[in-house]
A and B are shown apart, each in its own frame.
Chain A
Amino acid sequence: MNTFSGALFGQVDWAITDKLHLLPGIRANYDQKKVDYKRETYGGLANPTAAQLKLLQGVYSNQAFVADTSNTNYSGQLTIAYKLIKQVNLFATYAKSYKPVGVNLGGLVNDASGNPDLTTATIKPEQVNHIEIGVKTTPTKNSTLNITVYNTDIKDIKPLYNRLI
């Protein structure tokens, strides 16, 4: 497997007033992933019957495929922060995020005609939308009290899973 990612990013902190800050950030990301997969099976019976071969191939089979995929994503966030008093900071953040496009390294399921289902060779990017509002406080010199409420929506989530080949 071979991967390349490149990104341009920037974020600024704009002090609109002494108490009010706006912090926009943006990132452009390019991701490319390539895999060349080959699985070879040796052994078993020297001369299996058709029925035996079918059972064997349901468990172990040869497979070869090549996948090469790339994707460009834009992500970013915007935070607004307000210092109510010295000990109390209010903030709200919106973030749009992602996990890059993926390739499947664990072998593919076969389609009805017994060929690897190449639609499962690549994995769509995961898209995340996140909002968060909260307050950060220092009630006394040696204490901190923060409260945050957040909501994260994830589309095309990429769970990790393993299966025996």
Chain B
Amino acid sequence: MIDQDTPWRSNQDLGGVSLNIDTKLGTGTLTSTSAWRYWNWDPSNDRDFTGKQALALSQAPSKHKQWSQEVRWAGSLSKKISGVFGIFAIGQDLKTDPYHTEESGVDQWRFAKSTTGIVKTVDQDALWATPGLLTVTVFTPFLN
């Protein structure tokens, strides 16, 4: 039996393409490798793993892209020396799609309760249990 109240989803869409070019150059081979990849992530999780409304939603839909380029030469420099020399570059971009969400419900106070920010003049337990105090949604957009 599974007791939970948030749909589970792990949708992924990923792929890429790369291009290799080899050519003779002097006493060796010049190689160019170009690559592009992407990873789109569309999850949904019941972070408290129960039918209680604690961490009701926790999802981080994201779009990730990267590209890379290498150019290298490998071959013989002399009768006794061989080697490889090259240049490499990689860039990546990670964005929320459109934003990450964490949502807490009426039961979250039981788990979040701590001595952080303690106010000694009032009844702590009653304060933590204030209905709706931690019924909160947190959005995290990474811009750029």
Contacts and interface: CB of A to CB of B under 8 A. Distances in A.
Contacts of B127: 51-52, 55
A94 interface: no
B144 A10 contact: no
Given A14-B80, A52-B127, A44 B136 contact: yes
A2 B108 CA distance: 34
B83 A10 contact: yes
Contacts of B89: 4-7
B134 A56 contact: yes
B92 interface: yes
A57 B133 contact: no
Interface of B: 55, 72, 77, 80-95, 102, 104, 108, 112, 114, 116-117, 119, 121-122, 127-128, 130, 132-144
Given A10-B83, A11-B83, A52-B133, A37 B119 contact: no
Given A13-B81, A165-B140, A45 B130 contact: yes
Interface string A29-64: 000001111111111110010011011111110000
Query: Which among A16, A58, A59 has the highest number of chain B CB atoms within 10 Å?
Result: A59
B136 A43 contact: yes
A122 B85 CA distance: 31
Interface residues of A, number: 42
A48 B135 CA distance: 12
A10 B86 contact: yes
SS of A interface (majority): strand
A112 interface: no
A28 to B, nearest CB: 10
Contacts of A4: 89-91
B142 A1 contact: yes
B87 A8 contact: yes
B10 to A, nearest CB: 17
A3 B102 contact: no
Contacts of A8: 86-88
Interface of A: 1-16, 34-45, 48, 51-52, 54-60, 105, 107, 164-165
B135 A44 contact: yes
A26 B130 CA distance: 61
B136 A60 contact: yes
B133 A3 contact: no
B82 to A, nearest CB: 5
A56 B119 CA distance: 12
The 10 closest A-B pairs by CB, nearest first: A12-B83, A58-B117, A10-B85, A36-B143, A58-B116, A43-B136, A1-B94, A51-B119, A7-B88, A15-B80
Contacts of A57: 117
